[in-house]
Amino acid sequence: MKPHRPSTPAQYVQHVQHAPFVAVAGVSARLVAQSAARAGLRVAALDIFGDRDTRAAAELWFDIGGGALAVDRTRLVDALTRLARLPDLLGWVGGSGLEPLMPQLSGEPGLPRLLGNGAETLAAVREPRRFFALLDTLRIAHPAVSFERPARPGEWLFKHADGCGGTHIRPAAQLDAADLPARGYFQRIGDGRSMSVLFIGARGRACLIGFAEQLSCAIGTLNYVHAGSIGPIGMPPAVVARIQAALDALCKRTALVGINSCDFLFDGAGFQLLEINARPSSTLALYETASPDAWPRGLLACHLDACRFGRAPSSASLALAREPRWCAGQQVLFAPAPFTVSAAFSDACANDPQCRDVPMPGTAIDAGQPVCTLLARAASASAVRRALDEQHTRVTIRIETCDEPDYAFIQSHS
């Protein structure tokens, strides 16, 4: 789906003069930046990668990297403070990777308006003792949790409360008391498929956008690294109704607003809730791709409507989303070995309609770090899986061969 952009120079000048800015920040800002561009907004992107398609979607880009694929708080605050001086800035949207910083940012003076969940809401769903006690009060099923090392740690995981992307999850048996962060908890390993549901909170209710199956992989000692998702996935109506009731209750009690996602385990008949990600999720791209007619302005427009005006998505959009035209998938390709991105590799990925998060030439990528994101769309989840596997093979070969003289021959026969 192409961004809603003016088609003539005169129209573009008029658009730039009247369209407001929105700032989007996270470890990677590309998904939210592209969704904002679909809504006709001017975008200021703040992230650690500065990928080609992120910069293409944004009028301004700020590097907020702090090493080790993490956001630097000082750089983030400096960039947001500078953007606050823009007279036509609606506010800023926080994405993945900012979880450890959000409690501090809520009290930081001089920042733009946060278009999302405030500090009290974030604490209600991210502070483990509060969150799981609330689930128990609301009688929402979840795997057992403990704040002390279990007697049989082989059956448990340890999770950092401020983590994301699966890099915060460790087998409990691998840790001793000296290794445990203060803001963490043990969770019993549950049964079922790892799933997520994207929803928009508005006026104490949850508007369900769709369900997705989560993909994960092992990288080094990390066994649960988030590697992508496939969706929409059909779910039994009775389970959908119970999840709807659970998320309605959570929205009412915690005032969740805008785009959020809920991770859960699904065993075919019931679900166990794992966590709430109180921010826009990467799965929003699945639903924009699978149901383009439902979200012609992109899902971030719905997020802003909910945050600014308490407005839920229209019933027409939700009805179209329940009958998606496609199934979509996205998968992160992690580097099999260290390499430096060449101009040829970057150009090849930029010209590949199934590649996203395209790195800039000269980027040094270590083994196990993300290279790009692969995107597929097909009639079924199984066809999406096959397409992602084929793309993974093709782009891995591209890493190994892109600078060789016969690369053009390989491309023409792939």
CB 169 within 8 A of CB 157: yes
Q: What is the dihedral of CA 74, 36, 31, 385, to 10 degrees?
A: 170
Whether 9-115 and 123-143+190-325 share one fold: the answer is no
100 contact partners, CB below 8 Å, separation of at least 6 = 162
pLDDT above 60 (res 305): yes
89 touches 112 (CB < 8 A)? yes
**What is the distance between the alpha carbons of residues 212 and 316, in angstroms, rounded to a whole number?**
21
Average pLDDT over residues 307-318: 97
The Cβ-side half-sphere exposure at 167, using a 13 Å CA radius, reads 15
pLDDT the model gives residue 402: 78
Who contacts 264 (Cβ-Cβ below 8 Å, separation ≥6)? 195, 196, 197, 243, 271, 272, 273, 274
Give the domain 9-115 fold.
Answer: Rossmann fold (3.40.50)
pLDDT in tens, 267-299: 999 999 999 999 999 999 999 999 999 999 999
Tens of pLDDT, residue by residue over 160-197, are 988 888 888 999 998 876 667 778 999 999 999 999 99
Instruction: Determine the CATH number of domain 123-143+190-325.
Output: 3.30.470.20
The pLDDT, as a whole number, for residue 308 is 97
pLDDT tens digits for range 53-110: 999 999 999 999 998 889 999 999 999 999 999 999 999 999 999 999 998 898 899 9
H/E element, 272: strand 271-277
Q: How many helices (H) and strands (E) does the chain have?
A: 14, 18
- What's the CATH architecture for 328-412? Alpha-Beta Complex (3.90)
Q: How confident is the model at residue 410 (pLDDT cuts 50, 70, 90)?
A: very low
Residue 83 backbone phi and psi in degrees, to 5 = -70, -25
On average, the pLDDT of the chain sits at 92
β-bridge mates for residue 195, sequence order? 213, 264
Residue spans of the domains in the chain: they are: 9-115, 123-143+190-325, 328-412
Rounded Cα distance, 68 and 369, in Å: 10
Model pLDDT, residue 93: 98
Question: For the stretch 308-328, what's the b/e string if a residue is b when 16 or more beta carbons lie within 10 angstroms of its beta carbon?
Answer: eeeebbeeebeebbeebebbb
pLDDT at 413: 42
